[in-house]
Structure 1
Amino acid sequence: MSARPQLRGTFVALAAGAAILALAPLVAETYTLSVLVIYAILALSLGLIWGFGGILCFGQAAFYGLGAYTYAIAAINIGESTLPVLLGIAVPFAFAFVLGAVMFYGRLSDVYLGVVTLVVTLIFFRFMNATAGPAFAIGEARLGGFNGIPGFPILNVPGQPRWEIYDGAFYAVCAVALLLVYGLVRWLLASPFGRVAVAIRENEGRAELMGYDARLRKTVLFAVGGGIAGLAGVLYASWAEIVTPGLFSLAQSAEIIVWCIVGGLGTLAGPIIGAVVLGYAKFLLGQQSVIDNTLILGAILVLSVLLMPRGIAGVLGAAWGRAPRRARRPRRRAGAPRRLRSLDRA
């Protein structure tokens, strides 16, 4: 496919996404919409490395929580959010790069890779829960154990600590961040690097025989996913104004995977749709106590796998493809000879 149709498709997708994000406050509060957009960014980080890189990571919550904690600690020590935001993205990116290099250059199989990422997440969870004493502090920021870190500076205008960003302005920042991440991921996948990464997912051995370093590309792709998850953690920390070890929990890791499965792997819109739909369903279920929310979400996962193997995005794409269109029959040029029948059919 040439670059022009890809660029046109990207602009169309971004324009449609911007229109939806602009109209969303008409049907829901910006406070709720902000966290749904944050979930969408987090789901997109896993959708990138799993759906296009073939890397099933059970530890995406580790990068998510690491970005949130990095932002909170840096914001307390610095007093404003400009540098902490950058650190909240850079630290998970660097950690994911090192972890990915260890796993991929160590030639770990998919099963062991999933186990390692899951164990890393559980280590973060257990460690952060055990930091309740006064000795566990980084500068002026106390880690707080299971109580977490509250009361840190929230997102502000760069260089202006007193101009805090909240409510509608914060939702606008989250929406712009989602559009930028979507555009970045789509550009990355359309680049030679992204095409090779998809080829490695299909057949890693063949890609290496063609001279590509599969381990390096998988490491970089894994690190990009970690950085995007770190950005989601930064935005969540500013939205919630508190970070707790629950960000590293096994339930959080499983929830991200469920978003991608229900939304549809192999697409960029699928994880976003899954995160928004299930995130809003979780919000609505949290307002009732008759039925356990976990059972309902589990039932949704089972039904979606059985009835929609390709996810919500796959169903919508199939419905769009089956939409009736007016077909034009090609005209035969005047004087053009008709196709001769095969001798076998004569």
Structure 2
Amino acid sequence: MPKIHGMTIALIGSAIAAVGVMIAPLFVDLFQIMQLTVFAAMAILALSLGFIWGYGGILCFGQTSFFGLGAYAYAVAAINFGDSTPAIVLAIIVPVIFAALLGYFIIYGGVSDVYLGVITLTVSLILLNLVNSTAGDVYKIGTARLGGFNGIPGVPTINMPGDSSYILSPEQAWILTGLALIAVYLGLRVLIASTFGRVIIAIRENETRAALLGYDPRIYKLLTFMIGGAVAGFAGALYVNWGAFVSPTIFALGLSAQIIIWVIIGGRGTLVGPIIGCLLVQWMVTEIGSQQTLDASFILGAVLIGFVLLVPKGIAPTVRDFVAARLSRSNSDTVIEDVKQ
């Protein structure tokens, strides 16, 4: 049996997923479409950490910093411009610039990975308190009032590029967000398969050896950090579009922990793993919240402990290894039968 390349599998799976995204509004009601939209936006956020941690080896506890900056950049720009297209662009650019500045001082400063996680978490908490203290008319950017702990309500949602009067319907917003998730996944797959991707994986495995081969680990880690910031900022823009509202809670510690849990449950070193982990956990939290009988945080903690003890690699790597083992055994059995004949 000929071996199927991993990228081919990813393209086929993405094509099937894209068809599912397009036809979902025909079979799912509006409430479920809204749920799927926020799940897809959060899955893009999960991809951002899955990329920089799983492939770049950078454990960022403060991925909500870029997520929140992207969300606020979108909200402020959309209110001032009245058009979502430049707002989405700024939602990507602002976190990238922030990631470049923060990453430069951390990575080029020789801060170890453990302290990098602590610093990024601290930055998220600083942003939380900073934005939380912007109540009052004096705190505004252009015509957009930051609103402090009340947040920014009534954020303009995504419109058709070039026509600000054409606002996307919830179904169209779902299709846009779902296809965006697929596009980000494929884009990161292509990036990982490139020379840049192979270098960052080599740096993750052995930074000293990569340096001896002539690669500067600092610049590659900084670029990886910036790419993760861009993806998280884009996710923030889509998240704000879902609810037409943003508040300082987007920088909260709880969300930072959830992102890490998504990646751990789904599986580090994969891209489909963080997506699976995010969708599974978000669905579970939603179901528990609707029943109002169990504490979601308690159940989430129990699930995390269970996965760490029983499925330490995560869902995607465990399934991949199981399938590979079965195929290897099947091929071995075929060879033995051929020899016997």
- Which of residues 330, 335, 339 in structure 2 aligns to 1:329? 335
- Which of residues 247, 250, 254 in structure 1 aligns to 2:253? 250
CA distance in 2: counterparts of 1:24 and 1:54, whole angstroms: 36
RMSD across aligned positions (CA): 1.8
Q: How does 1:134-283 map to 2 (within 5 A)?
A: 134-283=137-286
State the Cα distance separating 1:136 from its structure 2 match.
0.7
CA distance in 2: counterparts of 1:319 and 1:104, whole angstroms: 37
Percent identity between the aligned chains? 47
CA distance in 2: counterparts of 1:180 and 1:287, whole angstroms: 31
CA distance in 1: counterparts of 2:226 and 2:200, whole angstroms: 13
CA distance in 2: counterparts of 1:5 and 1:322, whole angstroms: 17
Q: How does 1:288-327 map to 2 (within 5 A)?
A: 288-323=291-326, 325=330, 327=333
Task: Tell me the amino acid that sits aligned with residue 126 of structure 1.
Answer: N
Q: What corresponds to 2:82 in structure 1?
A: 79
Aligned residues, how many? 329
Q: What corresponds to 1:111 in structure 2?
A: 114
Task: Tell me the amino acid that sits aligned with residue 65 of structure 2.
Answer: A
Deviations 1:18-64 (A, max 9, x none): 24535655467211110111111000000000000100001100100
- Answer yes or no: is the 8 Å Cα contact 2:159–2:165 preserved in 1: yes
Task: Tell me the amino acid that sits aligned with residue 52 of structure 2.
Answer: I
CA distance in 2: counterparts of 1:237 and 1:37, whole angstroms: 13
Q: What corresponds to 1:128 in structure 2?
A: 131
TM-score under structure 2 normalisation? 0.92
Structure 2: give runs of 5+ residues left out of the alignment: none
State the Cα distance separating 1:288 from its structure 2 match.
2.2
- Answer yes or no: is the 8 Å Cα contact 2:21–2:179 preserved in 1: no
CA distance in 2: counterparts of 1:125 and 1:171, whole angstroms: 28
State the Cα distance separating 1:316 from its structure 2 match.
2.1
- Answer yes or no: is the 8 Å Cα contact 2:155–2:240 preserved in 1: no
CA distance in 1: counterparts of 2:278 and 2:292, whole angstroms: 22
CA distance in 2: counterparts of 1:30 and 1:321, whole angstroms: 35
CA distance in 1: counterparts of 2:72 and 2:45, whole angstroms: 16
- Answer yes or no: is the 8 Å Cα contact 2:91–2:237 preserved in 1: yes
Q: What corresponds to 2:57 in structure 1?
A: 54
Q: What corresponds to 1:12 in structure 2?
A: 12
More helix by proportion, 1 or 2?
Answer: 2
CA distance in 1: counterparts of 2:191 and 2:124, whole angstroms: 27
- Answer yes or no: is the 8 Å Cα contact 2:152–2:247 preserved in 1: yes
State the Cα distance separating 1:319 from its structure 2 match.
3.5
TM-score under structure 1 normalisation? 0.91
